[in-house]
Amino acid sequence: MEHFDAFYTPPDIAEEMVSAIRRSSLACVADFAVGDGRLLRAVEARLRTKHLIGMDIDPRVICRLRSRHPTWSLAVGDFLADQTDGSISKFQPAAVVMNPPYSNRGNSVREVAYEGGSVRCSPACAFALRALEWMAPGGVAVILMPESSLYSEKDRKVRRIIERAGDLQVVTSFFRPRFEGATVRSALVRIEKRRSHVDVSIPVPGADESVDCEFDIIRGGLPVHLAKPSRAVDRVPFLHTTSLSTLGASRLLQVRPYSRGLVLGPGVLLPRVGVPRALQIRVIGRDECFQLSDCVILVRTKAIKDARLLRMKLVNQIAALQAIYNGTGARYVTVSMLREWLAARA
Ligand SMILES: C[S@@+](CC[C@H](N)C(=O)[O-])C[C@H]1O[C@@H](n2cnc3c(N)ncnc32)[C@H](O)[C@@H]1O
Q: Tell me whether strands 48-56 and 95-98 are parallel, antiparallel or unpaired.
A: unpaired
On whether both 25 and 99 belong to a single domain, the answer is: yes
**Mean pLDDT value across residues 282-304:** 91
56, 68, 69, 184, best to mutate for ligand 1 pocket (most atoms within 8 Å of CB): 56
Q: Which long-range contacts (CB under 8 A, 24 or more apart) does 53-62 make?
A: 53/28, 53/29, 53/88, 53/91, 53/93, 54/30, 55/30, 55/31, 55/79, 55/84, 55/85, 55/88, 57/4, 58/1, 58/4, 58/6, 61/6, 61/34, 61/35, 61/36, 62/34
Whether residue 229 is found in the same domain as residue 291: yes
Nearest CA to ligand 1 atom 5: 35
Asked if the structure places residue 198 within a domain, the reply is no
Does 221 lie in the same domain as 187?
no
Do both 217 and 245 map to the same domain?
yes
Give the domain range for residue 247.
211-344
What SS3 class is residue 321?
A: helix
Q: Is residue 256 part of a domain?
A: yes
Pair (269, 303) in one structural domain: yes
Q: How far is the CA of 75 from the centre of ligand 1 (A)?
A: 12
With respect to residue 124, please indicate whether it lies within any of the assigned structural domains: yes
Q: In 220-334, where do the E strands start and end?
A: 236-239, 254-255, 262-264, 267-271, 282-284, 289-292, 296-301
Q: What pLDDT band is residue 210 in, cutting at 50, 70 and 90?
A: very low
Any bridge partners for residue 301, and if so which?
215
Q: How many residues does the chain have?
A: 346
The 10s digit of each residue's pLDDT in 25-78 is 999 999 999 999 999 999 999 999 999 999 999 888 998 999 999 999 999 888
Best residue among 17, 29, 34, 39 to mutate for probing ligand 1, ranked by most atoms within 8 Å of CB: 34
Distance 269 CA to ligand 1 centre (A): 39
Please indicate, yes or no, if residue 18 is contained in any of the structural domains. yes
Q: What is the CATH number of the domain that holds 272?
A: 3.90.220.20
CATH number of the domain that residue 169 is part of:
3.40.50.150
Q: Are residues 218 and 173 in the same domain?
A: no
Q: What is the pTM of this model?
A: 0.62
Write down the pLDDT at residue 65: 93
Residues 123 and 220 in one domain: no
Indicate whether 23 belongs to any domain. Answer: yes
Atom 17 of ligand 1, nearest CA residue: 57
Look at residue 196 and give its three-state secondary structure. coil
Cis peptide bond upstream of 266, omega within 30: yes
* pLDDT at position 209 over 60: no
In a domain, 78, yes or no: yes
Q: Which atom of ligand 1 is nearest to the CA of 102?
A: 1
pLDDT in tens, 30-43: 999 999 999 999 99
Tally of domains within the chain? 2
What three-state secondary structure class fits 250? coil
Ligand 1 neighbours (beta carbon < 6 A)? 4-9, 31-35, 38-39, 55-58, 61, 78-80, 99, 101
How many CA atoms are closer than 13 Å to the CA of 236, on its beta-carbon side? 20
Same domain, 67 and 185: yes
102 lies in the same domain as 246 = no
- Give the number of other Cβ atoms within 10 Å of residue 253's Cβ: 17
Predicted confidence at residue 227, as pLDDT, reads 94
| Rounded distance from Cα 100 to ligand 1 centre (Å) | 5
